[in-house]
Structure 1
Amino acid sequence: MAQKTREDYLKAPFNDYKNYPYGFSRSGDFSIKEAQALHKYGNLICALADGILAPENSEDDALLAVAQGVKEPTTPAEKAWLRYQTRINRPKAASIYGRRPAAEEDDSAPSIELEAEIDD
């Protein structure tokens, strides 16, 4: 199998079905330009950040620097990637009912048994 080139990564559209099953443009998290930039440049930035593809030009160097957090984003693709990373890496809410799952009980707490007397 031949090594993929930069153009191969730019041709393939980037989709994240786990976090954005209906697409970036329908999520409400991104503007139209940001969604288009992610769709076009997402695979390239992933390949650069994962070390699969070596940077070939100054644009690739800038994309990699932003992905690694070395420099501030300037282009729409860089800004979209940074926003995408903050969205997918935000902390998840555990539960609206508390911290502990319902099946887990605390044995250290004293148990109190209540008896109800009902007079007929």
Structure 2
Amino acid sequence: MKTFDIRPAPKPFIDRAKFPYGFKKSGDFSISEADLLSRHGKILSELETGSLQAETEDEKHFVAFVSGSVPAENALEKAWQKYVHLARGKKHFYTLHSSASNASEFDDDYSDEEFDVA
């Protein structure tokens, strides 16, 4: 695995709101992606918000990537892109049956009185 010239974070990055059991157990990230996010996520988050200034070339490239100037080029940027998409993107829910879509299939003259349930 390539090492990145990004400052080490004092604590591991954890997003309990979106990934309550951690990145590794979420099923959304590979083991290497989860390790990268845990190790560098706090610094990447601060670089993204601007609360931390980029010092190294890798950090400057990450800031350019986050601003949309350049595409994701390394595994760290691709893992961050995936994290942002999953954590901040819109969740899609699919149902097998929707009463709203099938409301026209029911007869208006149907009643439960026709059946003896006792």
RMSD of the TM alignment (CA)?
2.7
Aligned counterparts of 2:44 and 2:51: Cα–Cα separation in 1: 10
- Of Structure 1 and Structure 2, the greater helix share is in 2
Post-superposition CA distance 1:29-77 (Å, at most 9, x none): 1111100000011111111111111111111101112222221112221
Count residues with an aligned counterpart. Answer: 101
Aligned to 1:44: 43
Aligned to 1:12: 11
Aligned to 1:71: 70
Supply the AA of the counterpart residue of 1:67. V
Aligned to 1:81: 80
Does 2:44 align with 1:59?
no
Does 2:30 align with 1:34?
no
TM-score, normalised via structure 1 length: 0.69
Aligned counterparts of 1:80 and 1:95: Cα–Cα separation in 2: 26
Aligned counterparts of 1:36 and 1:71: Cα–Cα separation in 2: 24
1:65–1:95 distance in 2 versus 1, CA, 3 Å: same
Aligned counterparts of 1:95 and 1:75: Cα–Cα separation in 2: 33
How far residue 24 of structure 1 moved from its aligned partner, in angstroms, is: 0.4
Which residues of structure 2 form unaligned runs of 5+?
1-5, 101-107
Aligned counterparts of 1:81 and 1:50: Cα–Cα separation in 2: 14
